[in-house]
Structure 1
Amino acid sequence: MATSATTDSISYEIKQYIKPESLKREFDVNISRTKTTIHVLQWNVLAQALSYTKGNFVRVTDDIVDFDTRKWRILEQIIIRRPDLCALQEVDMFTCFLENELPKYGYTCVFVPKTNSKCYLFQNDSKNFKGPDGTLLCYKTDVFKRISQHGEDLPDDGRREKQIFAALDLEHKPTSNKIVFIGTHFKSKKEFKTSRTYQAQAIVEYIRKNYSTRQHVIVAGDFNGETDEPFYSEFLNFGLRSAYRTKMNDKEPSFTTWKFKGRDGTEREQCKAIDYIFYNPKGFTPKAILQFPNKSDIGPNALPSIHYPSDHLALEVVFDIEQ
């Protein structure tokens, strides 16, 4: 696959750790960035505390998820195509790494940690425990002015950790449009689809209550469910659309996460599309999407891999802003 990455713009500080080269990806079409376009990144980066291999990522070796190497690959994938807006989940390395690094590349960051993060279960792992994971929203400081920010727990099912969403109300400086940008992470596992429905309803109600007249709304996240679940319909019925589905002839990608997990001594493959970028079609038109690799591009051991630091693949969309 040819690359659309601007590798020349990556500093030596990062490049020295990116060996071998990262997985190559490209946009489906070439599009010029203008003052009426915005580039959005959505990515579950995989919490360092949850990246352990024994009994978890069974086809992954410890060196692949070593923090001192993986953190640079994560930073590279965030900044390599210079998105204007980023929604990141499972971020547990904010205060120890990204908080200092991302501003070097022109980003302002808003981090909302999870209440009772699962990462706390690994506090005794001094090598990999970095703090609670959460959702991180980033925006280019020279492109947006922050009006307000908000973070909130989502309805939960009584399990240990609570899921969250983070919201930014921004002014897009080149066009003066007000843009609502929301990042979230829903409950995992098939048996919790009812929880995901309630969580979608909570976000829809938040938008309805606070931004009922806004047309420039984007909701990005790891929703941990496929298109046949009710949560997906909640967003569509509200009037939002999936950017990848719009650009891919009414289909989502074949998968956005692929891994082999170990449970009770049994290897189980997980390969599905559960990450989305939803948008209001009255406010935006998706013009380009970052294409997904095939399994053969990734390799038989799935993700994370020596070429890619997370078990989820990033979604990237270039939108045209409707005036």
Structure 2
Amino acid sequence: MPAAHSGWCVRICLPPLSSQYMHCCSGSNVPSSPPGVTALLSQSPVVHVIKKFNFLALPPANLQQFQGWQNSQPFPVCSMGNSTSRLYSALAKTLSSSTALSQHEEYLQPSDHEPLDPKDLLEECQVALQDRPARLHREFVQLQSDIRSPTFRVMQWNILAQALGEGKDNFVKCPMEALKWEERKYLILEEILLYRPDVLCLQEVDHYFDTFQPILSSLGYQCTFLAKPWSPCLDVEHNNGPDGCALFFLQDRFQLVSSAKIRLSARSLKTNQVAIAEILQCSETGRLLCFAVTHLKARTGWERFRLAQGTDLLRNLDSITQGAKIPLIVCGDFNAEPTEEVYKRFASSSLNLNSAYKVLSEDGESEPPYTTWKIRPSGESCNTLDYIWYSQNALQVNSALGLPTEEQIGPNRLPSFSYPSDHLSLVCDLSFNDCPDRS
């Protein structure tokens, strides 16, 4: 690795992302950058150097010129372990791949990701986190004993955008050291690797291209990302780009049939919240399923706005599933308690949806007491905001991951050295109510 630019990497920002968060600067802002890159930077009106995360970004117009230089140079990448680690290798391969540079608006997966063993990666995460306190202990609650059709695991999680965690959310009881990306990324990956979902739905993803897409692609997932049009992450100095929703599925379990990226509306006006909906075909049974991920508007006072967004999402999903002919699973941070109208709208919709985590309650009708628990300057908040909705006429919940107790979470709440987000992950195993022949 040339010493002249040691510790730096280049990330190509593909449209439409680049126009949303790049800012002007000159080539002189880049310490010891190679001459070819310096020339490109001084010519470009849209270049953003992000020193904290050790990479610079170039607009799509410079892809061809820069790619010729990059292919002739050994190139460093963002810190993700030492040079012998599997995480490091996966990221290095992605960032040095000419295939990766040629992908455009649809963010297709590079075809040459080296497969990685999830057990090895989990072990590596645990080694990296060995000085941290023990993680929250959670166990699955088994709900069905006579399961005749194949099961699939779904994970819903607002992982907390890095820029918001460090710059805007003001978790007054959480030490800044616990929020540093250098270790927090391992906690997030460890949680995903522990439960190994077949379908993974994430919100507040602002490290998609440099972390989640390359790593999860190497684990066999197909990946889709949709950024918020005006992400609050962009207001934070040294941000890593806009946050958004992401949907991942294991390609040995499902094949993609169709994908829709949705910008949610409220009374015909486009909003800042988004959703992804994908129809997948189960490899084992040949049956179709629709998975959707979303993140509705936050904060008290926006209840009617969330209702309008939720109504628009239901309208879109009704069309995509052909009037509920295709079974549906909707994962999201709805920023709404079960008493809110948007929750009631989902529970009473013609799509016949039920909330998966209600099965953990004694009466089967109550949501968990919390899915997020945090302390901010305004006070402590303990709320149920996250849900996995499913078509109850076609699917059943076989097991669900239990939630940690108040004692396990601790007096400083979330996030913490033991848990990387202010939201808890929701994980459940589902299956079809019946399993007809593929014919």
TM-score (norm 2): 0.67
- Residue type of the partner of 1:320? S
Deviations 1:268-308 (A, max 9, x none): 10111010000111121001110001111011100001110
Structure 1 position 204, deviation (Å): 1.1
| CA-CA distance at 1:55 after TM superposition | 7.1
* C-alpha distance in 1 between matches for 2:389 and 2:120: 29
User: Which of 207, 217, 221 is 1:103 aligned to?
Assistant: 217
> Whole-Å Cα distance in 2 between the matches of residues 38 and 95 of structure 1?
26
Report SS of the residue matched to 2:166: coil
2:411 maps to amino acid: P
Q: Show CA shifts across 1:49-98 (max 9, x none).
A: 00027871000111100001001111111221111111100000101211
Which residue identity does 1:139 align to in structure 2?
F
Aligned-partner Cα distance in 1 for 2:319–2:267 = 24
Over the matched positions of the two proteins, sequence identity in percent amounts to 33
Amino acid corresponding to residue 370 of structure 2 in structure 1: F
What secondary structure, in the 3-state scheme, does the structure 2 residue paired with 1:109 have? Answer: strand
Which structure is larger by alpha-carbon Rg, 1 or 2?
A: 2
Aligned to 1:253: 368
* Aligned 8 A contact 1:39 1:318 in 2: yes
Q: 2:424 aligns with which of 310, 313, 319?
A: 313
Q: Which residue of 2 aligns with 1:85?
A: 199
Aligned-residue CA RMSD (Å): 2.3
Give the structure 2 partner of residue 229 of structure 1: 340
Aligned to 2:185: 71
Alignment map for 1:198-277 (pairs within 5 Å): 198-211=308-321, 212-238=323-349, 239-248=352-361, 249-262=364-377, 267-277=378-388
Aligned partners of 1:215 and 1:282 also within 8 Å:
no
Which moves more between the two structures, 222-231 or 104-113? Answer: 104-113
In the superposition, relative to structure 1, how do residues 183 and 133 fare at CA in structure 2: closer, same or farther (>3 Å)? same
SS at match of 1:72: helix
**What is the rounded CA distance, in whole Å, between the counterparts of 1:31 and 1:9 in structure 2?**
31
Are 1:35 and 1:174, in contact at CA under 8 Å, matched by a contact in 2? no
> Which of 264, 271, 279 is 2:390 aligned to?
279
Counterpart CA distance in 2 for 1:30 and 1:105 is 29
Cα offset, 1:11, TM superposition: 3.6
Aligned partners of 1:310, 1:157: CA distance in 2, in Å?
A: 32
Instruction: Give CA deviations for 1:250-269 in whole Å, capped at 9, x if unaligned.
Output: 1111100000012xxxx410
Contact 1:116 1:160 in 2 (8 A): no
Distance verdict in 2 for CA 1:64–1:84, change over 3 Å: same
2:157 aligned with 1:61: no
- Range with greater deviation from structure 2 (295-304 or 240-249): 240-249
Q: Which runs of 5+ in 1 are unaligned?
A: 1-6
Alignment check: 8 A CA contact 1:187 1:195 kept: yes
Contact 1:79 1:105 (8 Å CA) reproduced: no
SS at 1:80's partner residue? helix
Q: Report the alpha carbon displacement of residue 149 of structure 1 after superposing the two structures with TM.
A: 0.8
* Structure 2 gap ranges (5+): 1-117, 435-439
Q: Considering Cα pairs closer than 8 Å and 6+ residues apart, tell me whether 1 or 2 has the greater RCO.
A: 1
Secondary structure of 2:278's aligned partner? strand
Query: Deviations for 1:94-141, whole angstroms, at most 9, x for unmatched residues?
Result: 01211111122221111111111110001x2x2xx2111000101011
With normalisation by structure 1, the TM-score equals 0.90
Q: Indicate which of 13, 17, 23 corresponds to 2:128.
A: 17
For 1:131, give the aligned amino acid.
G
2:274 to 144, 161, 164: 164
Match among 290, 300, 307 for residue 190 of structure 1: 300
Distance 1:246 1:15 in 2: 31
